[in-house]
Structure 1
Amino acid sequence: MFGSLNKRIQDYLAERRSRRTRLVTKDGRCNIEYGNVRYSNHFAFLADFWTTFVETRWRFVLFFFITSFTLSWFIFGLLWYWIARSNGDLTWQNPKPDHTPCIDNVIGLTTAFLYSLETQTTIGYGGRALTPFCPGAVALLIIQSLIGAIINCFMCGIILSKISLPKKRAKTITFSDMAVISPKNGSLCLSIRVANLRKTLMIGSQIYGKLLRMTNTPDGETIIMDQVNIDFLVDAGKENLFFVCPLTLYHVIDKSSPFFEIAVDTLHKQEFELVVFLDGTAESTSSSCQVRTSFIPQEIMWGYNFLPIISRSKEGKYRVDFSNFSKVVPVATAHCAYCFHNIKGHHHHSRDGNDNEGFEVIEINDHPNVTKM
């Protein structure tokens, strides 16, 4: 009993360690940090201040939004207070009854701040107004109006750009949590499922992958992040996909594939990360976006296949059942790619090893009224 519990704890810690060290998270974020960057290079971020602000988190954008307006109101409020004081308009200066003020009803710091706010926001309550007897006040009014317009345009542009970022469109494109290895059209294939949750298409979609692993060169050099290209296909090809419904991506495991030397009993002992990319252009906004996800060996199921999720109703409509998106079914599969290509009938029929609770393994006999796509 204690041995089984200890093994489970070790497996859990190993899984957490492998998940923590992945380069790309499941939602597409890159787990990387930069160190020892020269301080002189930090000015490059200030030079490209627009991109810096667009990529800043929302909490900081809202902070800059509030701070920029409040600070500008207060600074110009001080300038209006200085103009009123120079002209002797303040209450404590005891202006004469026939005194001509620069600004009506600006008699202290609070009223000067209110006048600054009303001027920059074009509220104009009518209680405070500029008189034409002070040229300096007229010039300050022009300057504040221009600066206020610039702040408005900049902050509204930042907020609009953040709302319309292409990566927001990527949130509605989802990959399967697990990848599967099973026979497909006479070949052993690694399969991944991807779905577009919106009805609007992704134009010119292209899908490709990168296998990240640590390798040693013949010269004894260790490459921490060696990248190997992984080609994916769908039934209709690999370019200009018709991404109107969920697609199943296939990577053929042949002699040129880096997965050729992997077997069912050595898969989860490997150390690699398969990063999958989908590039496309949103039909509604014409903006390009990229969706990323990754799979580690513990997220690849050998001897399983995805359950079809597309059917055709009696009315002739095509229906996508997303309740089956995370369901797999065990299929007879060779123990390794070498066995598949060289030893006929040497199959492994998997019925366990499902480490992801989001994936449901079911038994099926046939699927009437289901059309695969």
Structure 2
Amino acid sequence: MKVFKKEKKNIKTDNQTGFGTNAANYGGRFLDKNGAANIEKRGLPFFDQISWFHTLLRLPAWKFQMIIFGVFILINFIFASIYYFIGVEHLNGIVASSEIEKFAQAYFFSAQTFTTVGYGHISPQGFLTSAIAATEALSGLLGFALATGLLYGRFSKPKAHLKFSENAIIAPFQGGKALMIRVASYKNTNLTDAEAKLTLAMTVEENGVNVNRFFPLDLEYNTINALTLSWTLVHHITEESPLYEYTKEDFANEKGEILVFLKAFDEMFSNTVAIRTSYIFKEIVYGAKFLQMFEHSNDNTKTVIHIDKLNLHERIEI
């Protein structure tokens, strides 16, 4: 980050962000857009760095399904190979004219054993084949128990179904200007007691050394009773703000980051959910205002909110 050249007095700082102050050891932004810390951990073996449970819970649905199907196919391929190399003659009921067909029937016998379906068309013969089939059946029970637990964990995990606008904006506000960020709930959930916190991350030169400094940005409202429509987080840029006297050129040329932390109470899970994101200065539109994203229905009986208009804004002069 670039050196914060603007000299300000009596600007309070936030020393409880959890990020370090040594600017020389930091690279890039502090938080990714999805809220994850922009950190790469090294010094341990790869598998010791990963919590597989958390990883599988956070994977996108299509990747999780691909892993489940992939593991299922792989395990059955391994057991089918074992049956094939032992000899398919130890599997009663297999009638095949080619080696490919023999392997295919061994594979489907493996799938039936792994899922404990057991149609009875093919059965193991001999101690070794029966022992392998029994081991596979046990593996199937444990595997499906694990998959069921992961599926339940993914569905039952409390999650803040909130979307932030792609851009933050600098807009006119009460005779001056303000930093604004818009957020909305996009699922049929009831979120109450929402609380937001904004922090400005900058690099400041102190005694000839560049250090990271974090400045809390006061909000017009940092809590609301219910997050049913959209919520625009507004930081009024006054003389007490670290963004005071910042121009369009400053936002374009200097490097800074707005860290956003938001939590709310989800009535369905009876639990607090949290979400984070950040905006670097290049993601802040100077001289704009958000456009209305909700309206009444045609029969005037409901309020309709258009989530696709969350980031909709228009340019204006400040």
Whether these two folds match at TM > 0.5 is: yes
Q: Equivalent residue for 1:208?
A: 197
Q: Equivalent residue for 2:123?
A: 129
Q: Does residue 110 of structure 2 align to residue 104 of structure 1? A: no
Correspondences of 1:235-314 after superposition (within 5 Å): 238-263=222-247, 266-285=250-269, 288-296=273-281, 299-302=284-287, 305-308=289-292
Aligned residue pairs total 283
Shift of 1:119: 1.5
Q: Equivalent residue for 1:44?
A: 48
Query: What SS does the aligned partner of 2:143 have?
Result: helix
Q: Equivalent residue for 1:17?
A: none
Shift of 1:64: 4.1
Q: Equivalent residue for 1:230?
A: 217
Counterparts of 1:64 and 1:313, CA distance in 2: 43
Counterparts of 2:83 and 2:297, CA distance in 1: 72
Whichever of the two has the greater Rg, that structure is 1
Residues 271/75 of structure 1: CA separation in 2 closer, same or farther (3 Å cut): closer
* 5+ residue gaps, structure 1: 1-20, 91-101, 331-349, 352-373
Select the residue among 34, 40, 45 that pairs with 1:34: 40
Q: Equivalent residue for 1:118?
A: 112
Shift of 1:251: 1.3
Q: Equivalent residue for 1:76?
A: 79
Q: TM-score, normalised on structure 1?
A: 0.60
Q: Deviations over 1:274-325 (max 9, x none)?
A: 23232234444556241424151562424x5445555667976453564696
Shift of 1:118: 2.1
Higher RCO (C-alpha 8 Å, min separation 6): 2
Q: Deviations over 1:6-64 (max 9, x none)?
A: xxxxxxxxxxxxxxx65545x435583527x22x3434236x33224434566764554
Residues 118/194 of structure 1: CA separation in 2 closer, same or farther (3 Å cut): closer
Q: Equivalent residue for 1:194?
A: 183
Residues 130/206 of structure 1: CA separation in 2 closer, same or farther (3 Å cut): same
Shift of 1:243: 0.8
Aligned-pair identity in percent equals: 18
Counterparts of 2:107 and 2:178, CA distance in 1: 70
Shift of 1:254: 3.1
Select the residue among 68, 77, 92 that pairs with 1:65: 68
User: Does the CA contact (< 8 Å) of 1:309 and 1:325 recur in 2?
Assistant: no
Residues 62/183 of structure 1: CA separation in 2 closer, same or farther (3 Å cut): closer
Shift of 1:214: 1.5
Q: Equivalent residue for 1:145?
A: 137
Counterparts of 2:170 and 2:251, CA distance in 1: 12
Counterparts of 2:133 and 2:184, CA distance in 1: 55
